[in-house]
Amino acid sequence: MEATEIPLVGGAADGGTVVVDLDVHGRPPLTHHHLVDGGLAGAEIYELESVLGDGPPWLYRWRGPAS
CB atoms closer than 10 angstroms to residue 35: 14
In tens, the pLDDT along 2-50 reads 999 999 999 989 999 999 999 999 999 999 999 877 677 778 999 999 9
Domain ranges of the chain: 3-65
Q: Is the pTM of this model over 0.85?
A: yes
- Residues 40 and 51: their CA atoms lie apart, in Å, by 28
pLDDT at 20: 97
